[in-house]
Structure 1
Amino acid sequence: MTYQGVLTKMQTEFLEPISYYLVFKNDFINLNQLLDKTLEFTFVGHECLNCHLDKPIYRQGFCRSCFFDIPQAADWIMKPELSQAHLDVEDRDLAYEKQVQLQPHIVYLANSSNIKVGVTRKSQVPTRWIDQGAHEAIEIVEVPNRYLAGITEVALKDYVGDKTNWRTMLKNDIVDENLVEWRDKLKQYIPDEAKPYFIEDNQETNIQFPVLQYPKKPKSLNFEKAQHYIGILKGIKGQYLIFEDDTVCNIRGNEGLVVKINIL
């Protein structure tokens, strides 16, 4: 069976284990059903996720001109503390910025390769944790806008990490932590503006991923550079496909690429 489409972030269902889907324009693939099967990938071209033209992908699935123009790729996406919609200040598109920034946001702790602090819209819990490959996570603060979440994250980064080591996460070299204790320990460092929104009585969420075999020495795959790859799918974790030969493919890192997938 053969599929062809532009790669976008895998869609997920919060089940035990997580259920993963590659969604194309007119079709989708349930990846859990393909574990232990041989898959053939062929690079076909590009399709910017915004303008949909066959132009080289610059970052985040967007061509260069779109990346520097559209609000979905503005700096406040990666740095929530730069959000200004609550001040009625426009960056690229105030209507879009208000829609995204002026809604409940969560500051959380997630443990994927190590404990890290992060920010996401409340509507993206637990999807954000799944995408990061976190096996456990907990909410710390729920605030009414992205700016408050951003300044809280910045404050807590002095005491806990904010990055995931993708190799450690994929090798499953992880240690379980008591996230409730970490949450309570970090409370004192939350900025005064966000302290009233501290969450005191929740428990951590545990996440199971569909992995039959973890890689010992992960080797990253880019479809544009490789052009062609055949491998046996052994697992999915975060936004990564894991293959028997220790090759791993970050679907987020390949967004905007058009590929043909043949199930052998």
Structure 2
Amino acid sequence: MTYEGVLTKMQTELNDVVQYYLVFEQDFLNLNQVLDKKLSINFLKYRCLKCEKEKKVFANGVCYQCFSTSPDMGQWVIRPELSTAHLGQEDRDLDYEQQAQLQPHIVYLANSSNVKIGVTRKSQIPTRWIDQGAHEAIEVVEVPNRYLAGITEVALKEHVSDKTNWRQMLTNNLKDLDLVAIKEELRPYLPEEVKEYYLPNAQELEIKFPVLTYPSAIKTLNLGKTPFYEGILKGIKGQYLIFHDGMVFNVRKHEGFGVSLDIS
């Protein structure tokens, strides 16, 4: 069976085991049903997810021009402490920024490879945790805007990492941690203006991923350099496909790549 379309990040559904979907314009594929089957990936062409032109993607599935001008590609996306919509100050498009920034945000702890601090919109829980391959996660504070979440992350990353070791996550070299206890240990370091938003009763969420076997060593597939690959799908975790030979494919890094997929 063959599917064709432009890659976007996999859509997910939290269940006993996370369900993964590739969604194309005219079709979709439940990747859980492809486990232990041969999957071939053939790169056809680029297409910017913003302007939809056949231009090489620069980052986040968009061409350089769109990356440089789109309101959802501003610095505040990666560095939420730079958010200014709460002050009425525009970066690229104040209406968009107010809608995106002035909504509830969660600062959380996630354990993908090690415990890390992170920020996301409340509406993105638990999707954000699944995308990061976290097998356990917990909310720390819920704040009314992105700026407060950002300054909280800046304060807490002095005491806990804000990075994920993706190789460790994909080889399943993990430790179960007491996130409730770690959350309490971090509580004194919250910025003063955020302390009232602390979530004392938040509990850990455990997440199970559809992985049959984990690789002992990892190779990464880059379709820009290797436009065709074929292998047996052994697992899906975070935004990665894991194959029998240790090859891993980061779907999110390939947003904007037009591909054909063949399952046999």
Q: Counterparts of 2:46 and 2:110 in 1: how far apart (Å)?
A: 33
1:251 maps to which residue?
251
Q: CA deviation at 1:3?
A: 0.6
Q: Distance in 1 between matches of 2:16 and 2:201?
A: 24
2:21 aligned partner: 21
Alpha-carbon distance, 1:224 to partner: 2.1
The CA RMSD measured in Å over matched residues stands at 0.5
How many residues in Structure 1 have an aligned counterpart in Structure 2? 264
Q: What TM-score, normalized to structure 2?
A: 0.99
Return the alpha-carbon distance in structure 2 between the equivalents of residues 98 and 35 of structure 1. Answer: 42
Alignment pair present for 1:31 and 2:45? no
User: Does residue 191 in structure 1 map to residue 191 in structure 2?
Assistant: yes
Q: How many percent identity over aligned positions?
A: 61
Q: How far off is 1:71 after superposition? A: 1.0
Question: In the alignment, which residue of structure 1 is the partner of 2:158?
Answer: 158
Match of 1:42 in 2: 42
- Specify the SS of the correspondent of 2:69: coil
**Within-5 A mapping of 1:86-235:** 86-235=86-235
Question: Shift of the alpha carbon at 1:88?
Answer: 0.4
CA distance in 2, matches of 1:146, 1:185: 23
User: Distance in 1 between the 2:219 and 2:254 partners?
Assistant: 15
CA distance in 1 between counterparts of 2:220 and 2:165 reads 13
For 1:185 and 1:24, how far apart are their aligned partners in 2?
44
Deviations along 1:57-101, one digit per CA (max 9) or x if unpaired, are 101111000000001111000000000000000000111101110
Give 1:206 deviation, angstroms. 0.3
Paired residue type of 1:195: K
In structure 1, the residue matched to 2:9 is 9
Letter in 2 for 1:27: D
- Measure, in 1, the Cα distance between the counterparts of 2:228 and 2:48: 21
Q: Deviations over 1:179-208 (max 9, x none)?
A: 000000000000001100000012100000
**TM-score (normalizing by structure 1):** 0.99
User: How much has 1:225 moved relative to structure 2?
Assistant: 1.3
Distance, in Å, in 2 between the alignment partners of 1:17 and 1:176 is 18
d(CA) in 2 for partners of 1:141, 1:39: 41
Which residue is equivalent to 2:59? 59
Q: Give distance in 2, aligned partners of 1:192 and 1:163.
A: 24
Query: Which residue in the other structure is 1:76 paired with?
Result: 76
Distance 1:95 1:77 in 2: 15
For structure 2, the residue ranges without an aligned partner over 5 or more in a row are none
